[in-house]
Amino acid sequence: MRGHGWKWLLCTPALIVLLLAASGPLLIVAVYSFLSPGNMGGVVWEFSTEGWFRVFFRRDIFEPDLVEWNAAHLQVFWRSIWLSLQTTFICAVLGFPTAWFIATRPPHTRTIWLFLITIPFWTNLLIRTFAIQEMIRNNGTINTVLMQLGLIDSPIQMMFTEFAVLLGMAYVFLPLMVLPLYAAMEKMDFRLVEAGYDLYASRLNVLWHVILPQVKPGFIAGSILVFIPAIGAYVTPRLLGGGRTMMLGNLIALQFGQGRNWPLGAALAMLMLVVVVGALILYLRVVGGNDEARRG
Amino acid sequence: MKTLTGWASAVLLGSTALASAEGVVNLYNWGNYTHPEILERFTAETGIQVTLTDFDSNDTALARIRQGGHGFDIVVPSDTYIQTWITEGLFQPLDRDIVTNMDNIAPQWVDVPFDPGREYTVPWAWGTTGVIVDTSVYSGDPNNIELIIDPPAELQGRINVIPEMSDVMAMTIYYHGGERCTTDRDILRAVRDSLISAKPHWLALDYGAVDSYAAGDFAAGIYWNGASMRVRLLNDNFAYGYPETGYPIWMDNAAVLADAPNRDNAMKFINFVLQPEIAALISNFARYSNGITGSEEFLDAEMRDAPEINVPAEFVEAGRWGQACPQDINDIHTQIWTELMQ
């Protein structure tokens, strides 16, 4: 019992840092969302729910008495969530075979493959995004090669499209899916796969009933690691998507910048937090919960 | 995270403040905006060391100085923010006994609306926001904002607009005959409607687009004069236009902070940059004009005669200062902008 208390003491420095550095600013944001906007940015210490009101509703610019749903904000929220879901799905589809390939190599070569997966992290995200731009722009590498091979006559417009954004997002977040999947597969008992075949299960059946249940924790961890940062993605959609449409991150930045409405920005940021935590809980309930039930 | 960085920089700043007992001045300026040679020459001439810290937006700079404990002496904010800095008492008046080069400021930049008579600030660099067009795609008059908000067929789908709410709103409001912060709902309605109907013709809303223009990704756009010149130097098909209905002028201005720890050194530095040769260094580095008489002869040759840098006489009148609109009007602008970008 006494030993247990000492162990807690060991992690207090880390807990203090977390508390100050994570909860502190978060608390400030929460408080700011209930204040009034100051002159040229900042806040005035007057309680107001206007920030939160404006997250969901807007007064018609031309008839201030007319209050309606703030469709623009909802649209931006939905776009960010939808993009993150698509990114997570693409990463899962591409990540599974990759992780499987690595996990089935002889142990001494696995390290090399894992090492290759981490190489993108050596370079700054911004630089890698510019490199993608160079590949897919109208007179970029891909279009030039295709045109010189005579496969196309005029460049394919890839930059500034949804395709470009998804390509960039999938590229950036793929390692975050591969690594946890690999970790789960490495621990997998391959004798169960053999047993499945021995019992005349088809390939698909083995995948569905033997492999997937075992690597599920990897999928859950990977999806969380991809989905959450993808919601707040800012650089990739902006550079590759051409900034024609706003993401959640851009909308929040607008309120703290030229919009000069910090309470609204703070309220939007809090709502984003709620969405992320909500998604997390839902996901763990739906996917993680099943697991518990089966074990029980 | 934010708290920690705050502490770390407070400690760092504390140490520079200690060193300032003898010959230091702390400059807080936009990133990639200060010619290193200016700082070297100042140190060589006066023995005063200069530390340079970057900011990335007016809002960042204002928020940081408002918090206090920053240790900076000089800051370089934009014209629209100057009134806020002054009324909040963040600047101190220039000491004319030290700043003796005030007469070098070009006459048209002395009685500016944001600091009449230049009591607190001096020009650092200024520029305009206008229209850039690839003349091999569109050969008509480039001095027209309609190319962007009601584009001709050959430009449709090939337009890039800088994602600066204030510039885009200003140019569209001027086009519809309004003042910068107009409360006229009919004008604002027309502004919204024309932006919403123009948007489908825009390919992108992108900042760092010099190479994209030069490479032919875009054929027209709303862009800054200095950047437009860089595009033309890479691809001489491009021309810069000054919309006759009105275009924004901006100016970044240097001022000494009220709580500057090295006040006299700061005044000396302000006086130093008012020399034509030094002001020209600012321009040669940042690619924008500086507002100091006589600096022209020290400019790089490609800038001296550039039509993007020297506003042609017939378009001078159409240039208008920016203005920070009251919160309720700014909220309307933000709402229109959000609707545009949703």
pLDDT band at B200 (very low <50, low <70, confident <90, very high): very high
Q: Please write the tens of the pLDDT for every residue from B28-42.
A: 999 889 999 999 999
Q: Nearest by CB to B338, which of A22, A72, A238? A: A72
Q: What residues pair up with B221 in beta bridges, in sequence order?
A: B132, B160
Give the torsion through C-alpha atoms of B96, B101, B106, B107, to 10 deg: 40
Contact across the interface for A244 and B216, Cβ inside 8 Å: no
Closest to A261 in 3D by CA, of A50, A65, A71: A50
Closest to B285 in 3D by CA, of B124, B93, B52: B124
Residues B17 and B122 in one domain: yes
More confident residue, B220 or A246: B220
| Six-digit token string for B78 | 């934009």
Look at the alpha carbons of B81, B85, B88, B93 in this order and tell me if their dihedral is positive or negative.
negative
Q: Nearest by CB to B342, which of A25, A246, A259? A: A246
Q: Residue B1 has what pLDDT? A: 37
Chain A residues with CB under 8 Å of a chain B CB are 17, 20-22, 24-25, 37, 39-42, 58, 61-62, 71-73, 75-76, 137-139, 159-160, 238-239, 242-246, 250-251, 254-261
Residue A98, in any domain of the structure: yes
Q: Residue B6 has what pLDDT? A: 43
Contact across the interface for B337 and A260, Cβ inside 8 Å: no
pLDDT band at A63 (very low <50, low <70, confident <90, very high): confident
Contact across the interface for B206 and A242, Cβ inside 8 Å: yes
Return mean pLDDT, chain B: 90
Query: Which residue segment(s) compose the domain that B59 sits in?
Result: 2-126+251-304
Residue A15, in any domain of the structure: no
pLDDT exceeds 60 at position A293: no
pLDDT band at A38 (very low <50, low <70, confident <90, very high): confident
Q: Which of A129-133, B175-179, B210-214 has the highest mean pLDDT?
A: B175-179
**Range in A127-131, B33-37, B96-100, B114-118 with the lowest mean pLDDT:** A127-131
Q: Residue B10 has what pLDDT? A: 43
Q: Nearest by CB to B206, which of A17, A73, A243? A: A243
Residues B264 and B194 in one domain: no
Residues of B in contact with A237 (CB under 8 A): none
Residues B262 and B244 in one domain: no
Query: Which residue segment(s) compose the domain that A178 sits in?
Result: 72-291
Residues B156 and B203 in one domain: yes
Residues B91 and B187 in one domain: no
Q: Please write the tens of the pLDDT for every residue from A103-125.
A: 999 988 999 999 998 888 888 88
pLDDT band at B22 (very low <50, low <70, confident <90, very high): low
Contact across the interface for A137 and B336, Cβ inside 8 Å: no
Instruction: Count CA atoms within 13 Å of residue A276 on its CB side.
Output: 19
Helices (H), A104-149: 107-118, 125-136, 141-148
Contact across the interface for A21 and B204, Cβ inside 8 Å: no
Q: Nearest by CB to B59, which of A17, A41, A62? A: A41
Q: Residue B11 has what pLDDT? A: 43
Residue B145, classified by CB atoms within 10 Å of its CB into exposed (0-12), middle (13-18) or buried (19+), is buried
Contact across the interface for B342 and A40, Cβ inside 8 Å: no
Domain count, chain B: 2
Q: Residue A3 has what pLDDT? A: 55
Q: Determine which of A258, A260, A264 to mutate to test the interface with B (most B C-beta atoms within 10 Å).
A: A258
Residue A182, in any domain of the structure: yes
Q: Nearest by CB to A242, which of B204, B215, B336? A: B204
Return mean pLDDT, chain A: 87
* Shortest Cα–Cα distance, B38 to chain A (Å): 30
* Shortest Cα–Cα distance, B3 to chain A (Å): 6
More confident residue, A214 or B76: B76
End-to-end CA distance of chain A, in Å?
30
* Shortest Cα–Cα distance, B58 to chain A (Å): 9
CA distances from B82 to A42, B168, B272 (A): 16, 21, 21
Q: Please write the tens of the pLDDT for every residue from A223-247.
A: 989 998 898 888 888 888 888 888 8
Residues of A in contact with B63 (CB under 8 A): 41-42
Nearest CA in chain B to A41: B59
Residues B161 and B227 in one domain: yes
Residues B207 and B337 in one domain: yes
Residue A8, in any domain of the structure: no
Q: Residue A292 has what pLDDT? A: 46
d(C-alpha B155, C-alpha A158), whole Å: 19
Chain B residues with CB under 8 Å of a chain A CB are 1-4, 57, 59, 62-63, 66, 81, 84, 160, 163-166, 185, 188-189, 192, 199, 202-206, 212, 215-217, 324, 327, 330-332, 334-339, 341-342
Residues B114 and B235 in one domain: no
Residues B184 and B320 in one domain: yes
Contact across the interface for A61 and B189, Cβ inside 8 Å: yes
Residues B65 and B160 in one domain: no
Residues of A in contact with B217 (CB under 8 A): 137-139, 159
Residues of B in contact with A246 (CB under 8 A): 338, 341-342
Q: Please write the tens of the pLDDT for every residue from B126-179.
A: 999 999 999 999 999 999 999 999 999 999 999 999 988 999 999 999 999 999
Look at the alpha carbons of A73, A77, A78, A82 in this order and tell me if their dihedral is positive or negative.
positive
How many beta-carbon pairs below 8 A join chains A and B? 109
d(C-alpha A255, C-alpha A268), whole Å: 9
Q: What DSSP state is assigned to residue A33? A: T
Residue A21, in any domain of the structure: no
pLDDT exceeds 50 at position B7: no
Nearest CA in chain A to B87: A39
Q: Nearest by CB to A159, which of B57, B188, B217? A: B217
Q: Residue B276 has what pLDDT? A: 96
Share of chain B above pLDDT 90, in %: 80
Residues of A in contact with B160 (CB under 8 A): 242
Give the CATH number for residue A244: 1.10.3720.10
Which amino acid makes up residue A15? L
Q: Residue B9 has what pLDDT? A: 44
Residues B191 and B272 in one domain: no
Q: Determine which of A27, A32, A80, A160 to mutate to test the interface with B (most B C-beta atoms within 10 Å).
A: A160
Q: Residue B13 has what pLDDT? A: 46
Residue A24, in any domain of the structure: no
Domain count, chain A: 1
Residues B113 and B230 in one domain: no
More confident residue, A169 or A60: A169
More confident residue, A97 or A285: A97
Q: Please write the tens of the pLDDT for every residue from A151-198.
A: 888 888 888 888 999 999 999 999 999 999 999 998 888 888 889 888
Closest to A215 in 3D by CA, of A86, A97, A88, A106: A97
Contact across the interface for A41 and B63, Cβ inside 8 Å: yes
Give the CATH number for residue B106: 3.40.190.10
pLDDT exceeds 90 at position B47: yes
Q: Determine which of B59, B201, B332 to mutate to test the interface with A (most A C-beta atoms within 10 Å).
A: B59
Q: Residue B14 has what pLDDT? A: 44
Q: Please write the tens of the pLDDT for every residue from B86-98.
A: 999 999 999 999 9
pLDDT band at A257 (very low <50, low <70, confident <90, very high): confident
CA distances from B302 to A203, B132, B134, B308 (A): 69, 18, 20, 11
Q: Which of A194-203, B113-122, B315-324 has the highest mean pLDDT?
A: B113-122
d(C-alpha B68, C-alpha B64), whole Å: 7
